[in-house]
C-alpha cells in the first residue's frame, strides 16, 4: 500500500469513527416533588457555623441542587465578620472526603464489618442496657468541644446511667493561660482581648494568626490595630522560639529558647516598675512583684536569653510610651515547664500597664475554655484501663493520634472489657482501635447552637442532607440511651427548648430569625466578676527555684496554620496549598537553624532521623533563620493519601515523640522533647516546595517602604516612579487608554466598554494566611496535583501567596499574593498561535479552554508565572467531585488555565444589573479571594469609574506594579508594605 | 515493488477475491439494516422517552405555555424540568387511567425521579443562561424549533456558529468569550 492509499483509508476510518460517535446520551432526572427553596441552576445560601476548630465562626454555605459547594463568612457574624480562614474553606472536603465512612463499622472476629445505622443504634442501646444492669459508673465519655445543649444531653445521659460527666478533650486546652487567668484575675477561663484598641502589642508565643483562640477574629483585630489609623500605625513584637505566621507578621520577631519568654517577661516587669508604672496598684503587691522581678535586669535578661540589651530596652521604652499596650501569653504552642510563668507575667504586665484592664473583655469568654486540662485527660484514660468501665464513648476526638504513647490511651483502648464506640466520620488512629465506629452527621449537615463566645450564640442548620444518611449524634444518643426511659425526641427540639429556657428566644418567629441571621449576636452580658486581689500562689510560682537545665537541642511540635492539631490533614486542599512560611506541600519538614544544620553535618533537603527520649521521626531538613539555634520544629501533621484516605500501617504519630509529662501547676502538656540524636537517614525524598527562591534578587516584586517615608512624603511622582525606562524609573502605568505612551508602546491600547476590571492588593494588610488560596481552590475547581507532580513543578494554584525574605535580615518576611495580572499589554496574548488568551472588552485576559492546544508558549512568556498547565486530567474521586462549582468548567488535560478574576461572579453581576437596567455598582463583584480574606487585602472594581474604590486607591503613594518596568501594564496594582521599626 | 511480489498479490486476490467480496457485502447489508431499523428513527424523531410525552399535544393542541412546565427559565440558567408532582396536578383527573399516565403515577408513588432523555446538547465548557434570553423576549422556538408541532422532540446539537449568528445581528449582545459563554 502506498502512502496515498494509506492516508485515504485512514481518512475514511476516522470519518466513520467520528460519525458513529456523537455525544453519549444523557439523562435529565426530574424531581418527584419540588422543594420550595430550590430552583435548579440557582444557588441557595444557608447560614450556619464552621466547626473546624473551637472558634465557631459564622458561615454562609452555598447549596446548588442539594450539594454544598462553597463556604463564605457570614457578614452579620461579629466574630469573623464575613471572613473564613483556610481551614474553614476546606470544611467542604471533610463533608466530601473520599475517606468518609458510609456506614457504621463493627469490629468482629472476622475483621471489620459494615453494619446498618439501625443495627448500630440497636447495638448501642443494648450496650447502654448492659452497662445499666451491671451497676453505676460503667460508662465513660470523652467528647470534643461541643455546644451547650449537646453537652447537656451527654451529661444527662451520663447522670441517668450513674456515670461521671463527659470529659471535653481538645489538644489545645490553653491550660497555662487559663491557670494564669485564674491566679491573676480570678477567672478560670479564656476571655477575649480588644486587640484593635491597642497601639503596641507584645506576644509571648501567642500565635493569634495561626491557631490561637480565634484566628479569624484576631486577624481582623490585628489588622485594625496594625494598619495605618489616623496617621499612626500600631506596632507588634513577637517573642517565640520559632517564626510562625504570627511571628512573621511582627514588626520585630525575637527568637528565644523555649521557656526563655518568662525571663524576658519578668525583665519587662522590672523595667515597668522602674519606669514608675503600676503606682495605682496595691502597695504590698507592688512590693512583692518588685522583689521577684528585681534580679531580672536588662543585662541579666540579655545574658540568659541572648537577646541584645538594646532591643530589650527599646521594647520597654516603647511599652512605656505607648498609650494602650497589650501583652499576650500563649498557652497552645511551645508549652514548656515555664509556660504558666510566662502567662502569669503577661497578665501582670497588662495589670501594670493598664490598671483598668480596658483591653481585656472578661465578659466575652471562649467556648474552648470548657476543655479539660491535659492532666485530667491522662487521668481519664488511666481510669478506663483500671476501673470497671464497660462502655467508652468517644465523640469526634482522636486521642491515639494527639496524645503521647505513655499517656495510657493505647492501653485503655486495648482493654478487652471495655466496648469502645467512636462517633467519627473517618477511619483514624482512634477509630481504627474502636469496637464500633458510628459516623454521624457533620456540622454542615446538623442542627445545633454553638456559643462562639459568651456574647455570641450562633446557629447550625443543615446546609444539605447528610451525604450517607448519617444520623445526628444528638438524635442517635437520645434514641439509643433513652429507649426505655422516656419518649424519644429530636435533638433540634431540645436545642430550641434550651434557648427558650435560657431566655434567649421566646417565640417561633425569633427562632426563625435567629436561624436566618445565623445566630443571636446581642446576648445580654453576664457581668463576670473579677478580683484584683491576686492569688498568693502567683508569687510561689514565680519564685519557684528553677534548676538551670539547659537542653542542648529540643524538638518542638508546633501547631499548624493549615492542619490545626493535625485534624485537617485529610483535606487535600490543605496539603496541596503550601505552608505560608516554608512553601512546602504534602510534607512536614523539620525546621532547623543554619548553625544547627552545619553542626550536625547536614544540608538543606537531607532526610534526617531525629530521635527523642520517646521516639524517632524521619523528616526533611528545612534550613531557615526562622527558628532558634537550639530548637528544631515540626508542625503537627498526619500522613494521608492524596484523596484523604487514612494510612493505617503508618508508624507512630508525630506526638509520640513527646513525653506524657505535664506542667504540674497548670496541668498542661509539654510540647517539646529533648533530642538524643540527629543523623542523616538512609531514605531520601526531594523537598516538595512551590517557591523558586526565597529572595527577590532585586526584581522589584514585593516592595516595602518605611513608615517615616510614608507619613512624610508628599511627593507623589517620586514614589510612583519617574518617566524613564529603567527598573527604578519606570512609572506606574494603568491598564487604560491613558496609560498608552507612543514612546514606549508597540501595541496600541485597548478600548474598554464601561468596565475595566482591576484589583488593588495591599501588601501592608496581607498576613500570608493563604485563606485566599483555599477560597480559589473551592470556587474555581482547581485540580489537586499531589506531591510527585509538585516536585515536578506542576502545581495548579491560580492565586499563590509568595513569601520573600529580606536579603539583609532573613528574619524579615514579606508576603505577596500573586495571581493573573490581567495585563493590558499581556505577553501571553501575543505568543499564542491560536488566540486562546484573548483580551476582553472589559479588560480581562480570557483563557478560552476549548481553543487552547497546549503549546505552553503563554506560560513561557508570562513574567508572573501565573499560568498553569493541566499535565493530566486531575481526579476528583467520589464524592469530592460533588463539590465542583457547576458555574466553572473543570478543565481537562492539555489545557492552560489561570485566574479569571472570578468571571462567573462578574457575569452574575451583569445579569442582575442588566435586569435592573443599571450599571454594576462598585463592590458588587467580589472575587472569591477578596471575599474570604480576613484582613481585606484585596479590593476589586472598575478602573473606568473614577469614583470606584480601586480608582481612588491607585493614586495612593504606595501604589506600584509588580515588574511594571516590563511594560505589561498589569491591572493588579499593589500597595507597598509599610515597615515599622521598634 | 518488484515483479514477483506483485504477482503474488494478484494471485492472492484472484483466489480470495470472491470470498472477500461476499463477506464485505454481507457486513455492509447488516450495518445498513441495523441503521435503518434502530438508529434511523432516533435520528429523525429524537430519543425515545421513558413516558411517551407529546409536546405537540401539550404545547400545540392544548396551548399550555412552555413556562408552565419549565418554570425556572426566566429566573435561572436552567429552564427546569417539571417535577412529577406537577404532571399529576392535571393528570390526576385527565386520562388518569391511561397506561402512560399510570407510569407517571408509579414514578410518583415510588418516589422515583423520571429519567428523561436529554435532547438539546451544549458542550460542557459552555455556560448558557436561559434567563437573559427570556429577558430579551426571545421565543423558545427560535432556538428549540417548532416544539409545538413535534411529538417526540428531535434534539439539536448546538454549535458556536448558531449562537454567534444572532449575537452578531442583534445589538447589545455580548460577544466576549468569557462574558458570553466560556468560563
State the SS3 of A201-231: EEEECCCCCCCCCCHHHHHHHHHHHHCEECC
Q: Are A359 and A377 within one domain?
A: no
In 3D space, the residue among A650, A649, A668, A648 whose CA is nearest the CA of residue A660 turns out to be A668
Does pLDDT of A628 surpass 60? yes
ω into A879 cis (within 30 of 0): yes
Distance CA A940, CA A926 (A): 6
CA-based end-to-end distance of chain A: 84
Quote the pTM value: 0.91
Gyration radius from chain B CA atoms: 25
Among left, alpha and beta (phi > 0; psi -120 to 50; other), residue A699 is alpha
Q: Which of A324, A352, A370 is the last residue of a domain?
A: A370
- Any idea which of A44-53, A537-546, A570-579, A661-670 has the lowest mean pLDDT? A537-546
Band of residue A512 on the pLDDT scale cut at 50, 70, 90: very high
Residue A1 has pLDDT above 80, yes or no: no
Looking at CA atoms only, how far is residue B178 from chain A in angstroms?
Answer: 6
Same domain, residue pair A809 and A942: yes
**Residue B14 exposure: Cα atoms within 13 Å on the Cβ side:** 6
Q: In the 8-state DSSP scheme, what is residue A772?
A: H
Question: Is B178–A903 a contact, with Cβ atoms under 8 angstroms apart?
Answer: yes
Quickly count: other Cβ atoms within 10 Å of residue A825's Cβ: 23
Same domain, A725 and A738: yes
Chain A residues near residue B72 by CB distance under 8 angstroms: 39-42
Instruction: Rounding to the nearest 10 degrees, give the CA dihedral for residues A886, A892, A896, A898.
Output: 20
**CA atoms of A867 and A173, how far apart (whole Å):** 43
Domain that holds residue A827: 704-979
* Domain assignment present for A792: yes
A-chain residues near B177 (CB < 8 A): 838, 840, 846, 848
Q: Which of A370, A369, A346, A371 is nearest to A357 (CA)?
A: A346
Residues A387 and A253 in one domain: no
- For A82, A214, A616, A935, the CA distances from A217, given in Å and listed in that order, are 10, 6, 37, 10
Residue A79 lies in a domain: no
**Cα gap A785→A490, rounded to integer Å:** 43
Task: Categorize the per-residue pLDDT at A18 as very low, low, confident or very high, splitting at 50, 70 and 90.
Answer: very low
- Decide: A437 and A100 in contact? Cβ < 8 Å: no
Tell me how long chain B is. Answer: 183
Q: Tell me if A457 is assigned to some domain.
A: no
Q: Within this chain, do residues A151 and A232 fall inside the same structural domain, yes or no?
A: no
Q: How is residue A200 written as a grid cell?
A: 503596641
Residue with cell 405537540: B56
pLDDT of residue A854 exceeding 90, the answer is yes
- The listed range with the strongest mean pLDDT (A23-32, A419-428, A716-725) is A419-428
Tell me how many degrees the CA angle A310-A313-A316 measures, rounded to the nearest 5.
150
Residue A768 has pLDDT above 90, yes or no: yes
In a domain, A910, yes or no: yes
Indicate if A125 and A235 belong to the same structural domain.
no
Q: How far apart are CA A280 and CA A535, in angstroms?
A: 18
The CATH number linked to A566 is 2.40.40.20
Return d(Cα A753, Cα A841) in angstroms, integer: 6
The domain tally of chain A equals 4
Q: Are A263 and A296 in contact (CB under 8 A)?
A: yes
What is the per-residue pLDDT across A440-485, written as a single tens digit (0 to 9) for each? 999 999 999 999 999 999 999 999 999 999 999 999 998 888 765 5
Q: What is the mean pLDDT of chain A?
A: 89
Q: Is the dihedral of CA B46, B48, B51, B57 positive or negative?
A: positive
A361-409, pLDDT tens digit by residue? 998 999 999 999 999 999 999 988 887 888 999 999 999 989 998 888 8
Residue A239 lies in a domain: yes
Same domain, A609 and A631: yes
Where are chain B's structural domains?
1-45, 55-81+116-180
Last residue of a domain, one of A342, A370, A398: A370
B75 close contact with A: CB closer than 8 A:
yes
- Asked if the structure places residue A303 within a domain, the reply is yes
Pairing of the two strands A668-669 and A662-663 = antiparallel
CATH of the domain at A430: 3.40.50.740
Integer Cα distance of B86 and A262 in angstroms: 72
Range A700-707 average pLDDT? 91
Instruction: Give me the residues of A, 835-874, that contact B with CB < 8 A.
Output: 838, 840-842, 844, 846, 848-850
- First vs last Cα of chain B: how many Å apart? 55
Please check whether residue B113 touches A, CB under 8 A.
yes
Average pLDDT over residues B133-157: 88
Task: Give the torsion through C-alpha atoms of A653, A656, A658, A660, to 10 deg.
Answer: 130
Contact A23 B157 (CB under 8 A): yes
Q: A336 near A672, Cβ under 8 Å?
A: yes
Please tell me the distance from the alpha carbon of residue A593 to that of residue A631, in angstroms, as a whole number: 8
Q: Positive or negative CA dihedral for A720, A721, A723, A727?
A: negative
Same domain, A168 and A185: no
Closest Cα to residue A282, out of A195, A360, A348?
A: A348
Set of cell numbers at residue B19: 470470498
> Is residue A805 domain-resident?
yes
- 3-class DSSP state for residue A309? helix
Dist. CA B18–CA B16, nearest whole Å: 6
**Residues of chain A found within 8 Å of residue B157, distances taken between Cβ atoms:** 22-23
The domain spanning residue A960 has which CATH number?
A: 3.30.70.20
Q: Rounded to whole angstroms, what are the CA distances from B51 to A425, B48, B64, B104?
A: 41, 8, 18, 8
Q: How confident is the model at residue A649 (pLDDT cuts 50, 70, 90)?
A: low
Q: What is the ipTM of this complex?
A: 0.80
Cβ-defined contact of B135 to A915 (cutoff 8 Å): yes
The CA distance from B82 to the nearest CA of chain A, in Å, is 6
Amino acid at each position: 500500500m502506498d502512502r496515498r492509499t494509506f492516508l485515504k483509508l485512514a481518512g475514511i476510518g476516522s470519518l466513520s469513527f467520528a460519525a458513529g460517535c456523537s455525544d453519549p446520551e444523557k439523562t435529565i432526572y426530574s424531581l418527584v416533588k419540588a422543594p420550595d427553596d430550590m430552583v435548579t441552576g440557582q444557588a441557595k445560601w444557608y447560614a450556619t457555623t464552621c466547626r473546624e476548630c473551637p472558634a465557631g465562626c459564622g458561615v454562609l454555605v452555598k447549596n446548588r441542587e442539594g450539594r454544598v459547594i462553597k463556604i463564605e463568612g457570614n457578614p452579620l457574624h461579629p466574630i469573623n465578620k464575613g471572613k473564613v480562614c483556610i481551614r474553614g474553606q476546606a470544611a467542604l472536603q471533610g463533608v466530601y472526603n473520599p475517606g468518609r465512612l458510609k456506614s457504621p463499622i463493627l469490629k468482629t472476629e472476622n475483621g471489620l464489618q459494615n453494619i446498618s445505622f439501625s443495627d448500630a443504634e440497636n447495638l448501642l442501646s443494648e450496650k447502654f442496657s448492659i452497662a445499666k444492669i451491671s451497676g453505676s459508673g460503667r460508662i465513660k465519655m470523652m467528647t470534643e468541644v461541643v455546644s451547650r445543649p449537646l453537652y447537656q444531653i451527654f451529661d444527662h445521659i451520663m447522670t441517668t446511667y450513674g456515670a461521671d460527666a463527659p470529659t471535653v478533650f481538645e489538644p489545645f486546652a490553653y491550660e497555662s493561660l487559663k491557670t494564669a487567668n485564674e491566679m491573676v484575675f480570678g477567672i478560670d477561663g479564656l476571655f477575649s482581648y480588644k486587640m484593635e484598641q491597642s497601639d503596641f502589642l507584645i506576644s509571648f508565643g501567642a500565635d493569634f494568626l495561626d491557631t490561637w483562640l480565634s484566628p479569624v477574629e484576631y486577624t481582623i483585630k490585628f489588622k485594625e490595630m496594625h494598619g495605618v489609623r489616623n496617621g499612626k500605625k500600631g506596632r507588634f513584637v513577637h517573642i517565640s522560639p520559632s517564626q510562625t505566621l504570627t511571628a512573621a507578621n511582627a514588626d520585630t520577631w525575637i527568637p528565644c529558647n523555649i521557656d526563655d519568654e518568662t525571663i524576658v517577661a519578668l525583665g519587662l516587669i522590672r523595667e515597668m516598675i522602674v519606669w514608675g508604672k503600676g503606682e495605682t496598684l496595691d502597695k504590698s503587691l507592688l512590693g512583692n512583684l518588685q522583689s521577684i522581678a528585681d534580679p531580672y535586669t536588662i543585662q541579666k535578661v540579655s545574658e540568659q536569653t541572648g537577646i541584645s540589651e538594646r532591643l530589650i530596652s527599646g521594647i520597654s521604652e516603647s511599652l512605656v510610651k505607648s498609650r494602650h499596650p497589650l501583652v499576650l501569653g500563649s498557652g497552645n504552642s511551645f508549652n514548656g515547664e515555664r509556660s504558666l510563668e510566662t502567662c502569669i507575667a503577661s497578665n501582670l504586665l497588662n495589670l501594670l500597664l493598664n490598671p483598668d484592664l480596658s483591653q481585656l473583655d472578661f465578659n466575652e469568654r471562649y467556648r474552648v475554655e470548657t476543655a479539660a486540662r491535659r492532666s485530667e485527660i491522662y487521668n481519664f484514660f488511666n481510669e478506663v484501663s483500671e476501673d470497671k468501665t464497660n462502655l467508652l464513648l468517644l465523640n469526634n476526638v482522636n486521642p491515639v493520634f494527639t496524645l503521647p504513647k505513655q499517656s495510657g490511651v493505647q492501653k485503655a483502648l486495648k482493654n478487652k472489657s471495655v466496648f469502645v464506640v467512636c462517633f467519627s466520620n473517618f477511619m483514624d488512629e482512634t477509630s481504627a482501635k474502636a469496637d464500633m465506629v458510628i459516623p454521624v452527621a457533620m456540622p454542615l449537615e446538623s442542627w445545633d447552637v454553638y456559643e462562639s463566645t459568651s456574647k455570641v450564640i450562633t446557629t447550625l442548620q443543615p446546609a444539605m442532607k447528610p451525604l450517607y444518611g448519617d444520623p445526628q449524634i444528638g438524635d442517635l444518643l437520645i434514641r439509643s440511651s433513652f429507649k426505655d426511659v422516656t419518649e424519644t425526641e429530636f435533638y433540634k427540639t431540645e436545642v430550641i427548648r434550651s434557648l427558650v429556657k435560657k431566655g434567649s428566644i421566646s417565640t417561633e418567629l425569633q427562632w426563625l430569625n435567629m436561624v436566618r441571621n445565623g445566630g443571636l449576636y446581642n446576648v445580654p452580658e453576664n457581668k463576670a466578676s473579677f478580683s484584683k486581689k491576686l492569688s498568693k500562689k502567683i508569687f510561689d510560682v514565680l519564685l519557684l527555684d528553677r534548676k538551670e537545665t539547659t537542653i542542648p537541642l529540643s524538638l518542638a511540635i508546633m501547631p499548624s496554620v493549615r492542619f490545626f492539631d493535625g485534624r485537617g490533614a485529610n483535606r487535600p486542599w490543605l496539603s496541596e496549598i503550601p505552608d505560608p512560611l516554608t512553601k512546602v506541600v504534602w510534607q512536614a519538614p523539620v525546621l532547623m537553624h543554619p548553625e544547627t544544620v552545619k553542626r550536625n553535618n547536614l544540608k538543606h533537603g537531607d532526610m534526617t532521623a531525629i530521635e527523642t527520649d520517646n521516639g524517632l521521626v524521619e523528616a526533611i531538613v528545612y534550613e531557615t533563620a526562622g527558628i532558634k539555634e537550639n530548637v528544631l520544629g515540626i508542625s503537627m501533621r498526619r500522613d494521608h493519601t492524596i484523596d484523604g484516605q487514612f494510612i493505617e500501617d503508618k508508624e507512630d504519630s508525630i506526638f509520640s515523640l513527646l513525653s506524657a509529662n505535664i506542667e504540674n501547676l497548670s496541668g498542661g502538656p509539654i510540647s517539646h522533647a529533648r533530642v538524643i540524636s540527629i543523623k542523616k537517614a538512609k531514605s531520601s525524598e526531594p523537598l516538595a516546595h512551590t517557591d523558586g527562591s526565597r529572595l527577590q534578587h532585586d526584581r522589584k516584586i514585593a516592595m516595602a517602604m518605611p513608615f517615616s517615608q510614608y507619613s512624610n512624603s508628599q511627593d507623589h511622582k517620586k514614589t510612583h516612579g519617574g518617566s524613564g525606562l529603567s527598573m527604578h524609573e519606570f512609572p506606574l502605568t494603568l491598564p487604560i487608554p491613558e496609560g498608552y505612551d507612543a514612546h514606549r508602546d508597540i501595541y496600541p491600547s485597548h478600548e474598554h466598554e464601561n468596565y475595566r476590571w482591576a484589583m488593588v492588593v495591599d501588601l501592608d494588610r496581607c498576613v500570608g494566611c493563604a485563606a485566599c488560596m483555599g477560597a480559589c481552590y473551592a470556587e474555581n475547581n482547581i485540580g489537586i496535583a499531589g506531591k510527585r507532580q509538585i516536585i515536578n513543578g506542576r502545581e495548579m494554584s491560580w492565586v499563590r501567596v509568595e513569601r520573600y525574605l529580606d536579603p539583609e535580615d532573613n528574619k524579615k518576611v514579606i508576603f505577596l499574593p500573586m495571581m493573573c495580572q490581567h495585563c493590558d499589554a499581556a505577553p501571553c496574548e501575543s505568543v499564542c498561535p491560536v488566540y486562546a488568551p484573548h483580551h476582553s472588552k472589559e479588560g480581562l485576559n480570557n483563557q478560552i479552554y476549548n481553543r487552547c492546544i497546549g503549546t505552553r508558549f503563554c506560560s513561557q512568556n508570562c513574567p508572573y508565572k501565573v499560568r498553569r498547565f493541566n499535565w493530566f486530567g486531575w481526579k476528583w474521586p467520589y464524592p469530592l467531585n460533588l463539590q465542583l462549582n457547576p458555574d466553572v468548567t473543570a478543565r481537562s488535560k492539555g489545557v492552560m488555565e489561570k485566574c479569571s478574576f472570578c468571571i462567573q461572579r462578574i457575569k452574575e453581576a451583569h445579569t442582575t444589573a442588566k435586569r435592573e437596567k443599571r450599571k454594576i455598582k462598585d463592590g458588587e463583584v467580589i472575587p472569591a479571594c477578596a471575599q474570604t480574606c480576613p484582613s481585606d487585602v484585596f479590593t476589586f472594581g472598575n478602573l473606568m469609574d473614577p469614583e470606584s474604590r480601586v480608582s481612588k486607591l491607585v493614586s495612593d503613594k504606595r501604589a506600584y506594579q509588580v515588574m511594571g518596568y516590563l511594560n505589561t501594564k498589569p491591572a493588579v496594582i499593589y500597595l507597598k508594605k509599610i515597615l515599622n521599626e521598634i | 515493488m518488484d515483479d514477483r511480489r506483485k504477482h503474488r498479490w494478484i494471485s492472492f486476490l484472484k483466489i480470495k477475491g470472491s470470498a472477500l467480496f461476499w463477506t464485505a457485502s454481507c457486513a455492509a447489508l447488516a450495518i445498513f439494516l441495523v441503521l435503518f431499523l434502530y438508529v434511523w428513527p432516533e435520528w429523525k424523531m429524537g430519543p425515545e422517552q421513558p413516558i411517551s410525552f407529546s409536546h405537540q399535544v401539550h404545547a400545540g393542541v392544548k396551548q399550555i405555555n412552555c413556562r408552565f412546565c419549565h418554570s425556572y427559565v426566566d429566573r435561572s440558567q436552567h429552564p427546569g424540568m417539571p417535577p412529577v408532582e406537577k404532571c399529576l396536578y392535571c393528570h390526576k383527573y385527565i386520562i388518569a387511567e391511561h397506561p402512560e399516565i399510570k407510569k407517571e403515577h408509579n414514578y410518583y408513588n415510588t418516589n422515583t425521579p423520571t429519567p428523561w432523555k436529554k435532547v438539546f446538547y451544549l458542550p460542557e465548557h459552555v455556560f448558557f443562561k436561559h434567563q437573559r434570553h427570556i429577558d430579551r423576549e426571545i421565543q423558545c422556538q427560535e432556538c428549540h424549533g417548532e416544539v409545538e408541532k413535534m411529538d417526540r422532540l428531535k434534539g439539536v446539537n448546538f454549535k458556536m456558529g448558531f449562537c454567534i449568528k444572532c449575537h452578531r445581528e442583534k445589538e447589545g449582545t455580548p460577544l466576549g468569550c468569557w462574558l458570553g459563554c466560556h468560563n
